[in-house]
Amino acid sequence: QQQVKQSPQSLIVQKGGISIINCAYENTAFDYFPWYQQFPGKGPALLIAIRPDVSEKKEGRFTISFNKSAKQFSLHIMDSQPGDSATYFCAARAGGSEKLVFGKGTKLTVNP
């Protein structure tokens, strides 16, 4: 049972373009939604996170958009750079639990 569905599986973007990764969830008990960035041979690094009381959160070039009624959230990377090439994971956590439920990941390639 996959509780967090992530798409696309892979994404190729030109330098300077916008990268968009989408996630959908089923469990309405989820109340914390982080995004992680993972480079080969490294562990996931926390990028940005949002709680459902806001619809958007921006940190630098990274923005999370959140649609509570649709149970969907997305990551937008503005002005994508070759250094952004990595695998991105969305995740969700229910209140009172420390268990993060991850999507299957999106491999982003930014061409120079």
Partner 1 sequence: DAGVTQSPTHLIKTRGQHVTLRCSPISGHKSVSWYQQVLGQGPQFIFQYYEKEERGRGNFPDRFSARQFPNYSSELNVNALLLGDSALYLCASSWTLGQPQHFGDGTRLSIL
Q: Does 35 bind partner 1 (CB under 8 A)?
A: no
By C-beta, is 2 or 14 nearer to partner 1? 2
- The residues facing 109 across adjacent strands are 12
Tokens of 84: 């952004």
Q: Does 42 bind partner 1 (CB under 8 A)?
A: yes
Q: Which one of 44, 64, 74, 108 is in contact with partner 1 (CB under 8 A)?
A: 44
CA-to-CA dists, residue 24 to 3, 85, 103, angstroms: 8, 23, 9
Give 7: exposed, middle or buried? Use CB within 10 Å, 0-12, 13-18, 19+.
middle
With H, G, I as helix, E, B as strand and everything else as coil, classify residue 82. Answer: helix
- The residues facing 14 across adjacent strands are 111
Whole-number minimum distance, CB 95 to partner 1, in Å? 8
Whole-number minimum distance, CB 103 to partner 1, in Å? 6
Q: Which one of 20, 24, 104, 109 is in contact with partner 1 (CB under 8 A)?
A: 104
* Contacting positions for partner 1 (CB under 8 A): 6, 32, 34, 36, 41-46, 49, 89, 91, 97-105
